[in-house]
Amino acid sequence: MNRNIITILALLACGAARAQTPTTPAAPPRVVIDYVELADDERYEPVKAFARFILRDRDHPFNGAQLGVNDAKPLSRAMKADHQLERITAKSADEMAGAITKANDDGVNYFIVDAPAEAFRTIAAAVRGRDLLLFNVSAPEDWLRRDLCAPEIIHVTPSRAQLMDGLTQFLVSRKWRDYLVFRGPKPEDKETAEAFMLSAKKFGARIVATQDFTPGTDPREREKNNPALLSAINRDWDVTFVADVDFDFVREVPYRTVRPRPVVGASDLEPAAWHWTWDHNGAPQVNTRFSKLANGRHMDSPDWSAWMAIKMITQAALRSGKPDFKGRRDYIFGAGSFDGDKGEAMSVRPWDHQLRQGILLGSPFSVVAEAPVDGFLHQHDVLDTLGDDEPETTCHLNR
């Protein structure tokens, strides 16, 4: 056979073989989201009675972030992006800041930060000016929003001002306007009590007395640890508010005051971002998926915040049509609107980067009400009746 013909046939055979070989599709781009937590975080220690009985079992909200990534898989396929969650556990605020900056140098832009408020001072200083977003999912301190005022932080978890405004709106709507305040010794107790007092003033209610308590059963301190003695005041009141982050004193307050008055704050009726019995707006499905993922544990407020942070990241890409970091960030800080299964469309306040959201008012086994309460109005967004409105804050990131 002619040598030229043989060569032509060989080339055609090779071409046919290549055409029949399936091409491997390119892997979708990875979008890494780092969940950063503090080891030995005291906020997640079980709450015990007399160091024996566990009254409340608490856990890091990593399962909430996991649920967010799982829920985002259909969106990820539509966006042709692979969202992956990586967990970083650090021993100190300095170590957390170092881990975040290193990950950002490696191309990570999104960080779910589960840390006490003080850690954010170090972290914010380390990341200033970087292309990244830090989603605060567990620190409610108002000074984070007002004084630290860092442009890289988005506060997904509600502030104390939002929580207390939601609670006070409900009390005022019931015409319960006079409050007796029991205040604990911890800094968090004092900050919570202060936030409640500001809310009472904001909505036209009154603090009839403020009593500082000392936890424990020492009989020498009975005037400071006995609810009956602490509530033996000359004026009447409608509601007993208790600020007790340790959940030690507050459990002794119901039915032990000298007057039969409802207890709110740290027990009985608590304002929260989320409640495991919330049964509207798709919440039962969220709670069920979370419980399966977390081995039966109920979804708590930090869990919801971590879940919501992931949802904001993924929805920003889908709705803006711009999956890159700048496109997502601009959407979140701009016209971004998000559904958190609480009824109202949520968005980020441009002045302090706090997520606007409703507050659930929960008893141990049900949601009693939700805020904003009907009748409390705002000229722009009714959710801005909760927490720091723009004229009320010292933080103005939008200027």
Which residues of the chain are modeled with pLDDT < 50? Answer: 1, 3, 5-21
- Tens-place pLDDT, residues 188-229: 999 999 999 999 999 999 999 999 999 887 778 888 989 999
- Asked whether the domain spanning 162-272 has the same topology as the one spanning 30-158+278-357, the reply is yes
**C-alpha triplet 175, 180, 183: angle, nearest 5°:** 135
Angle between helix 93-105 and helix 119-127 axes, rounded to 10 deg: 30
* Residues linked to residue 264 through DSSP beta bridges, in sequence order: 241
Q: For residue 159, give the nearest of 104, 117, 99, 201 by alpha carbon.
A: 117
Q: Are 169 and 373 in contact (CB under 8 A)?
A: yes
Query: Tell me, what's the pLDDT at 215?
Result: 86
Query: Tell me, what's the pLDDT at 218?
Result: 75
Query: Tell me, what's the pLDDT at 320?
Result: 83
Domain boundaries, the chain: 30-158+278-357, 162-272
Distances (CA, A) of 58 to 3, 5, 163, 187: 81, 79, 20, 20
Query: Tell me, what's the pLDDT at 10?
Result: 47
Q: For residue 37, give the nearest of 126, 136, 157 by alpha carbon.
A: 136
Query: Tell me, what's the pLDDT at 50?
Result: 67
Answer CATH for 30-158+278-357 from 3.40.50.10190, 3.40.50.2300, 3.40.250.10, 3.40.640.10: 3.40.50.2300
Q: List Cβ neighbours of 363 (8 Å cut-off, separation of 6 or more).
A: 268, 269, 270
Dump the DSSP string for 47-113.
Answer: EEETTTEEEE----THHHHHHHHHHTHHHHHHHT-EEEEEEEEESSHHHHHHHHHHHHHTT--EEEE
- CA 312 to chain CA centroid, nearest Å: 12
Query: Tell me, what's the pLDDT at 379?
Result: 86
Domain 162-272 architecture: 3-Layer(aba) Sandwich (3.40)
Q: For 237-356, where are the E strands, in sequence order?
A: 239-243, 263-265, 270-272, 338-339, 345-346
Q: Are 185 and 246 in contact (CB under 8 A)?
A: no
Query: Tell me, what's the pLDDT at 8?
Result: 43
User: What DSSP state is assigned to residue 46?
Assistant: P
Query: Tell me, what's the pLDDT at 52?
Result: 72
